[in-house]
Copies of this chain bind each other. A is one copy, B any other.
């Protein structure tokens, strides 16, 4: 029995690796995460629940490996810890059952399976249920790397240092990172862009920030930090050293 966490990249199906494509095709079943029920505001990357729109990860699987092996796993995003725990346990049970009899399951995870990935929790829960499972992963391009390419930014060069954090870790950690590192990548800032703006202004680095959301989709946003308002959950901010952004003509 084997479970492979496949990093499918940031959403653009062409940013899947060749190895990821191969393993999605070889697996007996490919699990994709969806929201249980309608996706909450700003979280449409998870699709619209069991019978609705596919989420970002499922779209990559559909585009590059077909629909034959796909099975949706519904994760509750409710505030209630009990319903969340119940839905996670149900997901882990489904994956565990799918690998019985020596079968091979893949789990499609956005970005990279080692970087803030749902897969880490799924893998731990499946290993509890089936201690003999072989777990491996395929690395994938993260949203920040995709944003750097789309915005024409070189993030770090030479002896520069980088900090990577979720804004949910708190504005103070973002402020400290801005003071101590040449470059900073902040994830999951969509709902907290006011804090991002405040910290950047305080550090005098607002002009060095690029912002991206829904990368690779028809309604993608790539540019400077929006002057007001909020963004989707999966938004990304890159703060690179001044003058690092290439002018783009394409």
Contacts and interface: CB of A to CB of B under 8 A. Distances in A.
Contact of A139 (B113, B138, B141, B160): B141
Main SS class of interface, A: mixed
Interface in A98-136: 112-117, 120-121, 123, 127, 132, 134-136
Interface in A174-188: 176-177, 180-181
A164 to B, nearest CB: 4
A96 interface: no
Contact of A114 (B13, B154, B248): B154
Per assembly, the copies of the chain total: 2
A136 B149 contact: yes
Interface in A150-175: 152-166, 168-170, 173
B19 A14 contact: yes
A13 B19 CA distance: 9
Nearest to A10: B139
A159 B168 CA distance: 6
Interface size class on chain A is 35 or more
A82 interface: no
15 contacts: A14-B22, A17-B18, A18-B21, A114-B148, A114-B154, A116-B156, A123-B246, A137-B148, A137-B149, A137-B152, A139-B141, A156-B164, A158-B166, A159-B168, A161-B165
